[in-house]
Amino acid sequence: MEPIVMVFAWTIVVIVLAFIACLFEDLESDEGSQSNPNSQVQLAPEMGYIHRYYNKAISGEGLSYALACTIAGTVAWMMLSQGITPVIAIPFGAGIGSLVHMIRATIPHLGREAAHKRFEQPIYMDVFYGHLVPIATHNFMAVVCITAIAYIQSPMGPLAAITGLQVAANNPFPLPLLCFIWGITVGAIGSSTGDIHYGTERLFQDRPFGEGRRVIYHGQICRYGDCGIRTSKDIVAFCAKYGGPATGLTFGLIVLFENWRTLIGMMAGGLTGGSWSPELASGVGIAIGLVIGVILIISNLYLVRWARKKFGPFVGE
């Protein structure tokens, strides 16, 4: 097989893994109301809204995923350096990372609900125990994908084995550091994209749609489900239909556009043979990136205008 074809093939694998990772990352953060919606769940008892949500504040999604993925990467790196096959090392490392994540998830629920003593928020033990295994399993899916991506790119991975190109196809950073960077990235994308679906849609389902949340509503979250009292597990089933896949698509598209423009630029610069020109490679890559950016901005503006016309007018317009 041509070396460049192998590079494109591994890039496609990385994109698919990124899609799955960010999908599960968003659902995992919804499982315990992490990141942005957490401020509303935290505020609710202070407004008198006693709830049965899981209060999982592990220092923001970016950092908590950096922790889980870095530990997974470190364990996988240690096992790989002892000659263990990646098929065992990567899931084992991800399992350890998810275990640590689950332990970290127990801390904030107990700590923050205990700190709500004067607002008479009890600790429901069924909520506490019932959410731990779903948190760990969703986290495992995300972390195993991220560790696999980092392994593919690392100097010990399959990209490093591709020879015959003008430059090395792999990333020079070691596996734990790549896991750290990818963990922060997947957490940041999941936090910025997916939480809107949970925070402003699901937590405020009894309010008018699409107008943003006024300060007067803060903390007054929707506490009842279709049947009975809502817990964080009901959120996941709701967000799995739209918020999670949209978040995964966002991250997948970011990885796709970024790698595609770089690879096309490098091919234009003579990656596959002949004269290798880094200036031409980076120039063409930047130009393609700018074109993609402009197309995305224009299509987003058009989409927002169309949505406002179809579903509006909103309060304050």
Partner 1 sequence: MGEEEKAEEKPKEKFTLHFPTENNLSIMGIVVGALVAILPWLPAIVKGVGAIVVILWGADCVRKTARYGLGTGVPSIGVLAMGYGLVGGITGIVIGSVPVLYGVGIVEPAVLIGVAAVGAVGYISGILANSEKFIGMKIPGLERGMAELGMAGALAVIIESSMIAGTWNASVVIPNIIENGVIATIFILSGFGMLQPFNSCLGADERRGRTLLVSVEIGGLCCIIFGVVASLMPAPSGILQGIQLIILGVIVWILFYSSYVRACLREAHAVVGTGLIKTMR
With CB under 8 A as the rule, give the number of residues binding partner 1: 57
Structure token digits, residue 103: 């332990």
Q: Residues 21, 245, 32, CA angle at the centre, nearest 5°?
A: 70
Instruction: Specify the residue, 57 or 141, whose C-beta has the smaller distance to partner 1.
Output: 57
Q: Is the four-CA dihedral 294, 295, 300, 302 of positive or negative sign? A: positive
Structural contact between residues 142 and 26, judged by C-beta atoms closer than 8 angstroms: no
Query: Does residue 77 touch partner 1 according to CB under 8 A?
Result: yes
Q: State the Cα–Cα distance between residues 98 and 193, nearest whole angstrom.
A: 22
CA nearest neighbour of 139 among 131, 129, 130, 151? 131
Instruction: Specify the residue, 134 or 285, whose C-beta has the smaller distance to partner 1.
Output: 134
Query: Does residue 52 touch partner 1 according to CB under 8 A?
Result: yes
For residue 126, what are the contacts with CB-CB under 8 A and spacing of at least 6?
A: none
Which residues from 184-243 bind partner 1, rule CB under 8 A?
223, 229
159-178 footprint of partner 1 as x/- string (CB under 8 A): --------------xxxxxx
Instruction: Specify the residue, 144 or 150, whose C-beta has the smaller distance to partner 1.
Output: 150
Structure token digits, residue 114: 């205990």
Query: Does residue 50 touch partner 1 according to CB under 8 A?
Result: yes
Structural contact between residues 3 and 272, judged by C-beta atoms closer than 8 angstroms: yes
Torsions phi, psi for 174 (to 5 deg): -75, 165
Query: Does residue 73 touch partner 1 according to CB under 8 A?
Result: yes
Query: Does residue 25 touch partner 1 according to CB under 8 A?
Result: no
Closest distance to partner 1 from the beta carbon of 166 (Å) = 25
Instruction: Specify the residue, 77 or 238, whose C-beta has the smaller distance to partner 1.
Output: 77
Q: Using the rule CB under 8 A, which residue among 70, 98, 191, 247 binds partner 1? A: 70
- Residues in contact with partner 1 by the rule CB under 8 A: 39, 42, 46, 48-52, 57-60, 63, 66-67, 70-71, 73-75, 77-78, 81-82, 100, 103-104, 106-108, 110-126, 173-180, 223, 229
